[in-house]
Structure 1
Amino acid sequence: MEQQQPSSYAQGRLFPRLASLLVIHAHAVSIACCVAGLVGLLLLPPLAKTTHVSENALLPGSAKVTFSEADALNASAIANELQSILKDSTNRYMAFRSWLFHYFDLFGVDYYYQVFWPPDRSFSPLRFMSSSYGVEGWLAHNKSKYSQDLPHPGVNLVGIVRAPRGDGNEAIVLVTPFDLEKLANGDALTLGLSLVILELFTKAHWLAKDIIWLAADSQYGAYTAVDAWLKEYHQLASECATLQYRTSLISNLKSGNVFEGSSEWLDDVTIEDFKRAGAISAGFIVMFSREDDSVAFDSIQLKAEGSNGQMPNLDLINVVTTLATYRQGLLLNLDSFKGIKSWPGLNTIGDIVKHLGKFAGYVYPDWGFALSASEYVQGAATLLSSIWNQALGVPTGPHGAFRDYQLDAVTLEIFSGVNLKNTLSSHDLLKNTGRLLEGAIRSVNNLLEKFHHSVFLYFLVSPTKFVPISIYGIPFALLIITLPLQASALCSRVSSQDKSVADKESTTKINKVGPANWIRGVQIVTLVELWSIVTSLMPIPLSLFTLSSETKIILWTMLACATLCAALYAFSILFPLSNQLGSLLQSAILLDSDFVPIKALTLGFAAIFLGVMSAVNFAVALLGVLLVIPMCLCAQPISQVRKSILTPGGRSLTSLLSMAGIILTIFLSAPILLLSGIVVGGPLRTSLLQLWNWTESLWFWGSSLYLLGFLVYLPCSVLCLFVVFWCR
């Protein structure tokens, strides 16, 4: 034991010594981590992994498809029949319902229809990051407001194929959005295609899961229709689905007391109409895009991003990709930022990455990656789009409603390179799409459990390439570690300066940082954070007034500035911790002893909140890191840098870099960046309108990007500007 004591003692001292070395060389380590993190982000496209099906039971493409050319022609004939019926009908809703229920009776499937209303989009703190109002709440808030604009609610029509080899415990959902008021050729073809597929499943002897076809009334948006159906499907015992409430609601609808004209097409609704199947295993949303002359080839755009960056299990995307690309020969693509493809800097980075991949292959063959400059640019554009869509927090399609219930779903938006009115030209596209849907549903039908073998946290680079969290988490960790490292370095510098003052008190003039300075720093940081929270809630009372969007933005800004000044003044009165505090607002200058606590606390505060935000939405945390870290690290009093530059011989490289860092801090701060966006966005009125609409959208969807902006980015910006202009 005595011989092992020195060894264990040395081992116990190893980590403190390493930590001490990191703190001593904090600037060099921070620069190295930032450079490595940024390089790692730029290398994400070539480091992307190839997708593969992890669940062997899926077996995509192993079975022979039964969707034939005759079925494609039948889908076209059904679409033409629907358009002629709606054209000659005086009541499009009743005609469409009777026509669809006729086919349901012909196929021998269970069917019903569901009445729903759009949710309330008003600002409310009780609805942020929570489910929307039910039917009762919507009627209470909007009956008088929309009684003239909405003559009838939305109606979803649902057909259920009971699986002959199943026990009714699981189901697969196929969603087809439609809008009878703006029914295009593509919508009619989608309905016809879905009906033919539904008929095929009624004859499928291998079917082990129930098939639910949801014809979603998208007059208020496809997401709203799908979300309303899923809510009632999973919450039959909730307040908006109880027997007593539905009975009173239906009686009001029949008598026309809710909306005029409701009794014309809601004549036989009963509580027993809502039929159910098993637990939902997966969902597929299929829709034809509106006619676009710019599309030269038949293609399918896959959309998978849900609310707050939620993604379906990658195996579901892999099944669709395998069947579309390797079985049906369809061009499958993802959303991408087309504007950045022409950036000369991105093409230059692509050339560098190409040569770097060749060099890495020469050094070690397993490190090499054959990626051309054009492939890098395309991958980077798709990757940025995937990160932005996840960070924005707004679902890119109706599939987002499934992710709110932790269900895997994707949207397949079909783009036709030919005129859909020509049935012969659209024949091949219908055939390939039908086979794709049949194969995908059959693969999910093979599952004995939920999707879990593949990953849920990833960014898409292409339909066949993805970046898992094990790769993009490394650059994030390298960037965020600089915040606590620099905070520790500041505290260590204060400690060393205190010792120097104690030894050389007569010759050194350094303001000692005492407990009062740290307490004052904590109070200032807390005050700014509380002000940010209040500022984030200001749109709630503003939305109660009938004001224009630009007026609301201007009032919001004025109230935010006024409350900040009032909070600082009240702080100086209520918390007079020292004589220096009274001169805070009088001279608008802080002493150097307050600079270190405020910056150190800001760095620690940003690190903690960004780490917590990464657990909520990693894409939001990644965007926050790219904005907050350079702004916080470069913040320092401008008076010190200006004094060093104005002194003879003071224009050193360090001083110039410090001034450049201050400029970067000012430019990345929330006020300057917001003003730049308003100026670049076009006319002032249009920019303010877009800003308010964007704020409403983030609030309605409960986006964590809203939380990042007001709980992290805005307070850090104010504190950094506080350090730059009011410290010396």
Structure 2
Amino acid sequence: MGLLTDTRTQAVMSRVILAIHKPLEVLLYIAGVASLLVLAFTPLNEKTYFSENALLPGLVERKYLNDQSVKDYAKELTRLGAADNGKGPIPEDWLKAQFMDLGLDVFSQNFTVQHPFNVKAKGTQESGAVSGTNVYAILRAPRIASTEAIVITVPYRNKEAEAGRARTHYGIGLMLSLASFFSKNTFWSKDIIFVVVDKEEVGMQAWLAGYHDSHSEYLPTSLMLGRSGSIIAAINLELGSEFTDHIDLKIEGVNGQLPNMDLFNLAVRLCRVERVPVTFQNRFDPSERIVVKWAGLQHSATTMLLNMAKQASGKPSGIHGLFLRYHIEALTLQAHPAKRGSGVEAVGRVMEGVVRSVNNLLERFHQSFFFYVLPSCERYVSIGLYMIPFGLLLVVPTLRGMALWLLAMQSVEKMDTSSDEKDNDEKEDGDKKKKLELEQQGRPFGQVMPLIIGAHIMGAILFISPQYLVSEHIASFNVTPQGAIAIGFAAFFVGSASLPIFGRRNNFQTSEDLPSDWQLLKCLTLIWYTVTLLAVSMFNFSLAFFVAVPTIPIAVIVQPAEQSVLKIIQGFLLLMISPLSLLYSFITVHHGFFNPGDAMVDILTQGLHKTVDSLFEGVVNAYLYGNKSFALITLVWFPVWFLLWAVLFRKASGKKVSS
């Protein structure tokens, strides 16, 4: 510590930082991005394994046998759905009758989802309300009190809801068949809850809120008469046909949460044992002959980036994702239909193996990893590996902030010495006195703190603005709620960007007496930017990484420019990393990846439409599901971007010191 506090050591360190920080920043940025992508290469990551031995599927002798009942259940559901042109409600009475015939405790839950903005939902008569009914049955454990439970869920989809989604009639049929099979065994140490979910995510959220007594003003539900104990794990099944081409595993939850990796490994291992092809992100693992070649790296890196993209969105990839909010490990098994392939029996044996393995647990999931990314079904990159490249990225703005902190004390206005010789001595004394006063004042915090506080107040205003933008008056302007929020955000953004350009000099420009304030402003902005990225990475690493990669280079190079060309270039780059532009870029690239055959104009147009919808959906999900993406955009990234924008339009007066 003595070396660090010694003034001579500090002087040497300052000179070293100022001398090498630029080339070092470039090297660290390239190393950070490249090393994360290289981690997808099989020799550099780890093979998945079981941390909890009680889950080993080898301990479970699967006994489920397919019978005609699954087909009969599916045909009956299809008939009931066709009776009302595929637009009717969930067949509550029929489902309750089937579960009752099996001797289970059967209950139903009515719910009404009130839209946060009182918007009329599609297909509803009541403004802003979506009503539905969840049906659930409980198989009580015969050897123990109802202290713990395992949940099996299947979403009910009528013909209208099947648009863009897989059917689930065979999934409900398999659930009923498994309930019949499970009820004939006595080895259960946990209750098993079978839930047929109505209205997808909102229905699942209503059931979870009712089960845990965490109701909100947007999710009024009926009293839940049937309960069990603490839920250990949940498996969501989506099965739409008798034969399955492959099972795709979905793990992403709200705000990028992931289940314990042991649960994922369990599902993969059981699919392998039952010879059911299994994929992740709808991609098979690379073959052994290319796994250590360039093609294998490309395949694994693409799978890992798709996993990170879904995690970064903050939206659940299935209704299982809502369980993760309640610290319940969950995943979705989505069976892709085929004319020939694995039969219902194989999928049923996989489900049996998962449930019976979780039934073996003596304690909740606590081993293995909760923070990871997956390049394939049987390889993983843990937090101990991927945080190293991310740390290299965060060193870049930290180094630039340190350099600006040092430069802020060196950037003192050079005094004008071009006056007459007879007044030279008197003027020199006055300049020395003024310079001494400036050095005693130190860094001009008083000049930059109001701007920093004001930027965050603007972010808070943007955060609460949707409830004012979407009101009963927008109907008279023939504007949809999605359009109202998009237009309102764009107008707010344009107005905010205009403030540093047309604002008052003493608020947005460099003081003539304190010429180093732009360096201090950017220094504090970069430090805050680094701290917030690090905090976000602790719960959603993928989001922090996708924000850091495009924004760090631009955030580092931005500074006041006297030349108009440089100012225009920097302004364009800053506009490219503004919140709305980043959202549009991510969505457009994602859409283009999955639709490579579309024309570029169509990709850009669809990206714009999806951006408007995603912005509105993010606001709604913040109210209904606790999605934090909207809060991060408004309360964190917008103030940082605005402060960088203000730095660009400050006057670079005084002694020129390169940053």
Fold similarity call, TM over 0.5: yes
Q: Tell me the alpha carbon deviations over residues 394-446 of structure 1, each in whole angstroms, 9 at most, x when there is no partner.
A: 1111001211211111011100221xxxxxx57x4201100000000000000
Alpha-carbon displacement from aligned partner over 1:125-163 (angstroms, at most 9, x marks no partner)? xxxxxxxxxxxxx8xx979x9545899931111111111
Structure-2 change in CA distance of 1:119 and 1:372 (3 Å): farther
Q: 2:302 aligns with which of 351, 373, 381?
A: 381
Structure 1, unaligned runs of 5 or more? 1-7, 123-137, 247-270, 342-349, 359-368, 419-424, 582-590, 644-657
Matched, 1:464 2:378: yes
The 5-angstrom pairing of residues 110-189 of structure 1 reads 110-122=105-117, 146-147=124-125, 153-180=131-158, 182=160, 186-189=167-170
Alignment equivalent of 2:46, drawn from 44, 49, 73: 49
Match of 2:555 in 1: 632
Q: Is contact 1:390–1:620 with CA below 8 Å preserved after alignment? A: yes
- Give the structure 2 partner of residue 107 of structure 1: 102
User: Paired residue for 1:534?
Assistant: 461
Give distance in 1, aligned partners of 2:648 and 2:446: 20
Quick one: which of 214, 239, 245 aligns to 2:195?
A: 214
CA positional deviation for 1:598: 2.5
- Report how far residue 197 of structure 1 moved: 0.6
Write the letter of the residue equivalent to 1:187: T
Q: Deviations over 1:23-42 (max 9, x none)?
A: 55322332332222122122
Task: State the 1:517 CA deviation.
Answer: 4.2
| Cα deviations by residue, 1:95-121 (Å, 9 ceiling, x for unpaired) | 933433333232211111111123424
Aligned residue identity for 1:120: H
Change (3 A) 1:571 1:490: same
Equivalent AA in structure 2 for residue 493 of structure 1: L
TM-score (norm 1): 0.73
Name 2:614's counterpart in structure 1: 694
Q: What is residue 304 of structure 1 aligned with on the other side?
A: 251
CA change 1:58–1:397 in 2 (3 A) is same
1:283 paired residue number: 234
Q: Report if the CA contact (8 A) 1:311-1:403 is conserved.
A: yes
1:60–1:322 CA contact under 8 A, matched in 2? yes
Return 199-208 or 89-98, whichever deviates more: 89-98
Of 338, 342, 350, 1:417 maps to 338
Whole-Å separation in 1 of the counterparts to 2:353 and 2:576: 52
Contact 1:298 1:429 in 2 (8 A): no
Contact 1:681 1:687 in 2 (8 A): no
1:528 & 1:180 partners in 2: Cα distance? 48
* Structure 2 CA distance for partners of 1:396 and 1:370, relative to 1, 3 Å: closer
Which letter maps to 1:309?
G
Partner residue, 2:315: 394
Per-residue deviation, residues 225-262 of structure 1 (Å, max 9, x unmatched):
111111111118999999xx95xxxxxxxxxxxxxxxx
Q: Which residue of 2 aligns with 1:80?
A: 75
Q: 1:335 is matched with which residue: 251, 276, 281? A: 281
Q: Does 1:474 align with 2:388?
A: yes
Question: Is contact 1:116–1:225 with CA below 8 Å preserved after alignment?
Answer: yes
- The answer to whether 1:231 aligns with 2:209 is yes
Correspondence for 2:597: none
Aligned partners of 1:608, 1:592: CA distance in 2, in Å?
Answer: 26
SS at match of 2:40: helix
Q: Secondary structure of 2:55's partner?
A: coil
Q: 2:24 aligns with which of 5, 21, 29?
A: 29
Q: Distance in 1 between matches of 2:103 and 2:82?
A: 27
Contact 2:443 2:520 in 1 (8 A): no
Which letter maps to 1:316?
L
Deviations 1:696-722 (A, max 9, x none): 111222343333333343333333344
**Cα distance change on mapping 1:23 and 1:164 into 2, 3 Å:** farther
Within the alignment, does 1:561 sit opposite 2:494 as a pair?
yes
Cα deviations across residues 154-206 of structure 1 (Å, max 9, x unaligned)?
Answer: 11111111111222111100101113454879422111111111111111121
User: Which residue, 532, 538, 548 being the options, matches 1:615?
Assistant: 538
CA distance change for structure 1 residues 376 and 676 in 2, over 3 Å: closer, same or farther?
A: closer
Q: Is the 8 A contact 1:85 1:95 kept in 2?
A: no
1:482, distance to aligned residue in structure 2 (A)? 2.0
Note the C-alpha offset of 1:528: 2.8
Counting aligned pairs with the same residue, the percent is: 26
CA distance, structure 1, for counterparts of residue 108 and residue 246 of structure 2:
32
Of 97-106 and 433-442, more deviation after overlay is shown by: 97-106
In the alignment, what sits opposite 2:594?
none
Please give the alpha-carbon distance, in whole angstroms, between the structure 1 residues aligned to 2:282 and 2:403. 41
Q: Which runs of 5+ in 2 are unaligned?
A: 417-426, 589-599, 653-659
The verdict on how the C-alpha distance between 1:36 and 1:685 changes in structure 2, with shifts beyond 3 A counting, is: closer
**What residue is the counterpart of 2:423 in the other structure?**
none
Question: What secondary structure, in the 3-state scheme, does the structure 2 residue paired with 1:157 have?
Answer: strand
Residue identity in the other structure for 1:444: V
5 Å-filtered alignment, 1:195-274, equals: 195-217=176-198, 220=199, 222-235=200-213, 274=225
User: d(CA) in 2 for partners of 1:635 and 1:169?
Assistant: 58
Q: Report the AA paired with residue 172 of structure 2.
A: L
**3-state DSSP of counterpart to 2:54:** coil
For residue 82 of structure 1, report the CA deviation from its aligned partner.
3.7
Cα separation, 2, equivalents of 1:205 and 1:642: 78
**Cα distance change, pair 572–531 in 1 and its aligned pair in 2 (3 A):** farther
- SS of 2:138's partner is strand
C-alpha distance in structure 2 between counterparts of 1:525 and 1:152, whole Å: 42
Query: How many angstroms apart in 2 are the aligned matches of 1:450 and 1:439?
Result: 18
State how far apart, in whole Å, the 2-side matches of 1:237 and 1:663 are. Answer: 46
Aligned length: 608
Alignment of structure 1 residues 634-653 onto 2, 5 Å: 634-639=557-562
Q: How many angstroms does 1:381 deviate by? A: 1.5
Amino acid at match of 2:461: V
